[in-house]
Amino acid sequence: MSKLQELINKLCPNGVEFKPIWSLTTWDKKFKGVDRKMQPNVISYPYVLANVFDDIEETNGDVKLLTTGIGGAERWTTEEKAGANLCEGEIIAIPWGGTPNVKYYNGKFVTADNRIAISNDTTVLHNKFLYYWLNNNIDLIAKTYRGAGIQHPSMLDVLNIMIPVPPIEVQEEIVRILDSFSDYAAELQAELQAELQARKQQYEYYRNLLLTFNPSAYGCGTDDEQKDGVTTWGGHNYKIEWKKLGEICDNMDKLRKPVTASTRISGIYPYYGASGVVDHVNNYIFDGSYLLISEDGANLLARSTPIAFSIYGKTWVNNHAHVLHFNSDVTRKFVEYFINNLDISKYVSGGAQPKLNQKKLNSIPIPIPPLELQEKIVAILDRFETLVNDLTNGLPAEIAAVKDQYEYYRNKLLTFKKLTA
């Protein structure tokens, strides 16, 4: 039996009492519409606008810049730069506006516009236990955020959230376990992220190597000319033919049909746009395997997501993606990889709204190795793609699994039976 279970069996075998947050905490402001008895005291912390952080940030500082957002690199400053805005203590914070989240910090800090709480009595409520419990029940915090545009929490609703208050010994043991598990999960995720980054760099290297068919490299012209030639791969010589994209596939753009969001009927069939699925509808216009290539949008030049992607089965495509059909699935996948690795800027027109029209798309030169070599290249790149990008396999799945495991055990540890009279 674990130490935690022994403590629960000894100190609270029949459950724990639940109390409203207002009865256990002190906050940094007197909130509008909240009865005085719920806030007999406040503890004041000066806050600064988020853009001030840019002026006072110091990489080697030891004063935490407590932002309101989620994620991102930790930011620091010095006591000198913090000046009159320097705060110190063990605190819990939620943002006054924006995306709901919960932060914990113990030490010197400067805060942006956060609402800050501390335990009234740390022999009754452990500050970090409160943090872990609120973070595990972030949906309760999120429900209090309201308003158009930037949402703000209803602090009356926040203060009335009921939280379990097990004996302090139980809280301390839970905090100890979650601290250890958090450190382990963070370290493991950091290692997996580093491995993922290394694999992505490796993938990019081999993708460039496998998909570069510079004519001059094969003695058949200059890099500005696409002439047939021969490449050596795996100890074998392969003939490379260059053809325009419009010569090796059928363009199905005339079958596309945009449907405005207000007139779409929800259904099971994916509705595709320039960068992937944007909705699901009750009908389809394509049935089979096709290659979609973005027709317009900033991503044509930014390339933050692939501009070429395959679709399968029954689908609907709007007029923001070109639809190409190939006689060979292998060639379709080969062209998908090639286009995603190709600088297409010279084929894109428009400034504010970049566009790749059908004429320009069809004119893009594509190297066509024999099907045997296409299969080998696609197989290698498929394995890399699964390793670095597939959310159900490979390293992204491992990273997600660590997070899921942590959240599962956190939820188990922070779920209590309510004490009944």
Q: What's the pTM value of the predicted model, to 2 decimals?
A: 0.61
Q: Could you give the percent of the chain with pLDDT greater than 90?
A: 62
Residue 91, classified by CB atoms within 10 Å of its CB into exposed (0-12), middle (13-18) or buried (19+), is buried
- pLDDT value for 199: 80
In this prediction, residue 216 has a pLDDT band, given cuts at 50, 70 and 90, of very low
Distance CA 320, CA 303 (A): 16
Residue range 234-247, pLDDT digits in tens: 566 778 888 999 99
Whether pLDDT at 214 is above 80? no
Distance CA 416, CA 215 (A): 69
Residue listed under structure tokens 């030639």: 229
Question: What radius of gyration do the chain's Cα atoms show?
Answer: 29
Distance CA 91, CA 77 (A): 18
Q: Average pLDDT, whole number, for the chain?
A: 88
Distance CA 135, CA 116 (A): 14
**37 CB-near residues (< 8 Å, 6+ apart):** none
Residue 221, classified by CB atoms within 10 Å of its CB into exposed (0-12), middle (13-18) or buried (19+), is middle
Distance CA 279, CA 337 (A): 25
The partner residues of 293 in beta bridges, in order of sequence, read: 308, 322
Cα 121 from chain centroid (whole Å): 37
- At position 104, the amino acid (one-letter code) is Y
Q: Of 329, 253, 264, 331, nearest to 292 (Cα)?
A: 253
Residue range 382-404, pLDDT digits in tens: 888 887 776 556 667 776 777 77
Which class would CATH give 214-368? alpha beta
Point out the least confidently predicted range of 158-172, 223-237, 328-342. Answer: 223-237
- The dihedral through the CA atoms of 101, 102, 105, 110 has a sign that is positive
- pLDDT value for 226: 45
Stretch (H or E) spanning 92: strand 87-95
What's the CATH number for 17-165?
Answer: 3.90.220.20
Whether pLDDT at 156 is above 80? yes
In this prediction, residue 229 has a pLDDT band, given cuts at 50, 70 and 90, of low
Whether pLDDT at 412 is above 80? yes
Whether pLDDT at 348 is above 70? yes
Whether pLDDT at 224 is above 60? no
Q: Across 115-119, 185-189, 194-198, 349-353, which has the greatest mean pLDDT?
A: 115-119
**67 CB-near residues (< 8 Å, 6+ apart):** 50, 53, 75, 112
Whether pLDDT at 296 is above 90? yes
Going by the DSSP 8-state scheme, the letter that residue 346 receives in this structure is G
Distance CA 132, CA 6 (A): 21
Whether pLDDT at 220 is above 60? no
Residue range 309-341, pLDDT digits in tens: 999 999 999 999 999 999 999 999 999 999 999
- pLDDT value for 223: 42
Q: What is the mean pLDDT of residues 222-226?
A: 44
In this prediction, residue 15 has a pLDDT band, given cuts at 50, 70 and 90, of very high
- pLDDT value for 250: 96
Residue range 18-67, pLDDT digits in tens: 999 999 999 999 999 999 999 999 998 999 988 899 999 998 999 999 99
Residue range 116-133, pLDDT digits in tens: 999 999 999 999 999 999
Per the CB < 8 A criterion, the answer to whether 41 and 121 are in contact is no
Per the CB < 8 A criterion, the answer to whether 63 and 82 are in contact is yes
